[in-house]
Structure 1
Amino acid sequence: MSGWGLGWFGGGAAKKDAPKKAILGLRSQLEMLNKREKHLENQMHEQDALARKHISTNKTAAKAALRRKKAFEHSLEQTNAQILTLENQIYSIETANINKETLDAMKNAGSAMQQIHAGLNIDKVDDVMENLREQQAIGDEISQAITSGVANNSIDEDELDEELAELQQEQLDEQMLKTGNVPVGDKVSKLPQAPISDVSRKTPARAEEEDEEEELRKLQAEMAM
């Protein structure tokens, strides 16, 4: 009874290791067949060389060597067929094992998602979102109530007059810079303008042109020397 119980609980691990053990057994057999293949090829080469050696001196020995070579060829064909069969079996088992592991991983992912979504439905999600919106609205109302009691809505008329005077002064300063006229009440006085010299009348383009002409004259003088 106890042995049956141990076999039952160990069955899962045995099933999981079965593909690995099968592949290891097939690879071991494949390695033996590969060695047999090389051995048969060597035997064929030896019998071929022996037949060539006795072809002129001892036809009976040469014929026997060819007969043995044919037997080795037949064994080699069987060995090659067995190698191909084992390689196909190994590939099939590896592919099936990969498919099974992929399917198991997908099943585990599905079970995990099922556990995550357990107890959830669209109605519960809607209820949660509605509750969040209500709480956010309550928070906004509370914030507005707190700030409305603290804010000072009174306006100081003296501060407004001072700010207005500053704006008027800034406007007068701008007019003086642009026109040179200083408005005084309703009258406008004309500020004397400083004479503009010929140098100040030169535009940047004219100054650059004169610099180029000066450089040209210097170059001509150097070439004349």
Structure 2
Amino acid sequence: MSIFSRYFGKEKLNPTSALDTLDKMNETLDLLVKKENVLLKKASMEQEKAKDFSKAKNKRAAIQCLKKKKMYEHHVEQLGNYQLRIHDQMIMLEGVKATSDTVNALRDGASIMKQMNKETNIDNVDSIMDDINEQTDSMKQIQDALSVPIGAAADFDDDELEFELAELSEVEFADDLLKPPTTNRQPQIHIPEVSLSVRSDPQIVTDDAEIAAIRESMAL
């Protein structure tokens, strides 16, 4: 069974499990790096010891130190291979998780679209429109029923009312003809009085005074 059939077949990838696995892989990488550093230090120490034994002309001890050094280096190489394997597995797992997330998102989208199409198929739309038309007709009938006059107003004859209105119009027209014509009064023009002051002639005043004096003397 391939990795894709495991994750997309019967055994589906759990996103939480995938994240937990990636965390464990990172922890394992950190542990391998620490072990690798320890082994490198030990290999370096054995090399220094081999130098010291070589200077001391202790060839057998120097060779033993070099063997240990080689052994430590071999383990370091193995740890490096382990790290590469874990890195490769992490890359694959991250890729599978991204693919799984994509497939799940597409599947959810397709499921929602299918459900929405099922709820809004043509039969349901036709049924909804029929319900709307039915309710509209029912409302119109109710409004018509409420607008029908009842009581005394229901006994009124529209034709009779129109005939009565026509008679009223004729009577009003006849009354207008019998009214006396309205006299057009001319607007009064107010002419202001002009005061004419007559200038007295000094000669005339003098003659009148003399005549009055003569009359008085004759009367005496």
Higher relative contact order (CA 8 A, sep 6+): 2
TM-score of Structure 1 vs Structure 2, range by shorter chain? 0.3 to 0.5
Bigger Rg over Cα:
2
> When the two structures are superposed, what TM-score results if normalisation uses the length of structure 2?
0.46
| TM superposition score normalised by structure 1 | 0.45
